[in-house]
Amino acid sequence: MTTLFTNVRIFDGTPHASRAGSVLVEGNRIARVVYGDDPITAPAAAQVIDGGGRTLMPGMVEAHCHLTWGSSVEQIYHAFILPPEELDTAATRNARVLLDHGFTSLWSAGALGDGIETRLAARIAAGEVPGGRLIPSTLERSPEGDEGVDTGDVFNGRGPEAMRAFMAYCAAEGVRAVKLVVSGESALKPGSHVDLLYTPEEMDAAREAAAEHGLWISCHAYTDAAVDLALRAGARIIYHASYIGEATIARLAALKDSVFYAPGCGVSIAALEASPPPHIDMSAMKHSAAERMELERVLVPRLKAAGVRVLIGGDYGFPFNPNGRNARDLAHFVEHFGFSPVEALAAATSLGGQLTGQQVGEVREGWLADLLLVDGDPTADVTILQDRNRLSAIMLDGRLHKLALPVAA
Ligand SMILES: [Zn+2]
């Protein structure tokens, strides 16, 4: 299939203004990008989409995705842990919901069931179910004991050998990004964000085993000591880091070419906004969220200024923060972290694409054709990306998942 987008403003994924132009897609790749008013001549048999001045941009990358956190804008679950069959159904639905909302790549930050995401990633890749490119994970690993974040006990166990066994298991299953919960979680257990759930020896074992098996590691880490452990494990991405100080900021800045960072503010803002019914106590969650946002309002702009790649993704999947609202993170970056709209868009596209190690997140010749045609100008107002009706076209791997415009043959 060959598709020509004409009469569009192109936001190419880098933090620069959009420009008028046209884009040709051949097969699953972007074949040509031409700026200026002279459009590309449509090859024979191309379908031509006249963008009417709409914005063509890369599909978005969710860098902290939880497909098995069941709730979405289409269906809310009040139970956090679902029965296995429902978990499968919810994860499959959520992959499609995210694609419907413009997310064409998903970096999983952990699952609530073993094997669900690797099976789902295979089904998506085979075209059996709709969804973005999924980097699958497995159960978020925290060691046994009640100090941990309880996300399942299957792989618990202490010591370097248990860690090596876990990594080997994940690799055999087809996991690509292993999630290690290094810090406790004060939103669930007050005060526990200072707890460290791993030893240096376990993290060394994680690094060695991950390298041996070709696995990436994502870490949930709040404090200096936790980020130190995450870096010791060779983490590719660090989530939260809300409580770190000067020395750790400097360390992350020095590692800016190899480590990514995602604050995960979506869940914090949503927790602060939520007004739960009387029988649901969100006070710990709200307190933790307020504290983290206060710190991150200072921290995140500093990390960005130091050149650290800051990505969107905010623990969507709770009833008060359902999957499908993920594009809110862009607006949060603008409102709370001082990002310009194009910087927030770059965080959601080119920088996220770099995390996945694939040629995605940019409108660039030769790169994979994951594209959004947006009714309006997200480089002026990122909030329009929260409205799926503004997505006139969603292209994944050169194929139109959605087209709400007429086509000229
Ligand atoms: Zn998470």
The pLDDT tens digits of the residues spanning 256-303 come to 999 999 999 999 999 999 998 888 889 999 999 999 999 999 999 999
213 phi, psi to nearest 5 deg: -95, 0
Q: Rounded to the nearest whole angstrom, what is the distance from the C-alpha of residue 314 to the centroid of ligand 1? A: 7
Mean pLDDT of the chain: 94
Q: Rounded to the nearest whole angstrom, what is the distance from the C-alpha of residue 277 to the centroid of ligand 1? A: 24
d(CA 61, CA 349): 6
Concatenate the DSSP letters of all residues of 119-147 into one string: HHHHHHHTTSS---EEE---BPB--SSTT
Q: Rounded to the nearest whole angstrom, what is the distance from the C-alpha of residue 179 to the centroid of ligand 1? A: 9
Q: Rounded to the nearest whole angstrom, what is the distance from the C-alpha of residue 67 to the centroid of ligand 1? A: 10
Q: Rounded to the nearest whole angstrom, what is the distance from the C-alpha of residue 343 to the centroid of ligand 1? A: 23
Q: Rounded to the nearest whole angstrom, what is the distance from the C-alpha of residue 142 to the centroid of ligand 1? A: 13
Q: Rounded to the nearest whole angstrom, what is the distance from the C-alpha of residue 107 to the centroid of ligand 1? A: 11
pLDDT, residue 318, reads: 94
Residue 408: pLDDT band with limits 50, 70, 90? confident
pLDDT, residue 163, reads: 93
pLDDT, residue 150, reads: 47
Q: Rounded to the nearest whole angstrom, what is the distance from the C-alpha of residue 185 to the centroid of ligand 1? A: 10
pLDDT, residue 144, reads: 56
Q: Rounded to the nearest whole angstrom, what is the distance from the C-alpha of residue 64 to the centroid of ligand 1? A: 6
- SS3 of residue 243 by DSSP: coil
d(CA 28, CA 368): 6
Q: 30-70, pLDDT tens digit by residue?
A: 999 999 988 899 999 899 999 999 999 999 999 999 999 99
Mean pLDDT value across residues 198-225: 97
Residue 155: pLDDT band with limits 50, 70, 90? low
pLDDT, residue 138, reads: 85
Q: Rounded to the nearest whole angstrom, what is the distance from the C-alpha of residue 151 to the centroid of ligand 1? A: 11
| Bridge partner list, 240 | 221
Q: Rounded to the nearest whole angstrom, what is the distance from the C-alpha of residue 312 to the centroid of ligand 1? A: 12
Mean pLDDT value across residues 175-180: 96
Residue showing tokens 């005060």: 191
Q: Rounded to the nearest whole angstrom, what is the distance from the C-alpha of residue 28 to the centroid of ligand 1? A: 31
Q: Is the pLDDT of residue 147 over 70?
A: no
- SS3 of residue 364 by DSSP: coil
Q: Rounded to the nearest whole angstrom, what is the distance from the C-alpha of residue 24 to the centroid of ligand 1? A: 37
Mean pLDDT value across residues 93-122: 97
pLDDT, residue 151, reads: 45
Q: Is the pLDDT of residue 149 over 80?
A: no
Question: Burial letters for 99-109: b for 16+ Cβ neighbours within 10 Å, e otherwise?
Answer: bbbbbbbbbbb
pLDDT, residue 145, reads: 53
Q: Is the pLDDT of residue 132 over 80?
A: yes
Q: Rounded to the nearest whole angstrom, what is the distance from the C-alpha of residue 289 to the centroid of ligand 1? A: 14
Work out the percent of the chain whose per-residue pLDDT is above 90.
Answer: 84
Residue 409: pLDDT band with limits 50, 70, 90? low
Mean pLDDT value across residues 343-367: 98
Closest CA to 280 of 65, 139, 76, 68: 76
Q: Rounded to the nearest whole angstrom, what is the distance from the C-alpha of residue 370 to the centroid of ligand 1? A: 25
pLDDT, residue 185, reads: 84
Q: Rounded to the nearest whole angstrom, what is the distance from the C-alpha of residue 80 to the centroid of ligand 1? A: 13
Work out the percent of the chain whose per-residue pLDDT is above 70.
Answer: 96
Q: Rounded to the nearest whole angstrom, what is the distance from the C-alpha of residue 374 to the centroid of ligand 1? A: 28
d(CA 38, CA 24): 13
pTM: 0.96
Q: Rounded to the nearest whole angstrom, what is the distance from the C-alpha of residue 366 to the centroid of ligand 1? A: 33
Mean pLDDT value across residues 232-257: 98
Q: What's the burial of 235, exposed, middle or buried (CB within 10 Å: 0-12/13-18/19+)?
A: buried
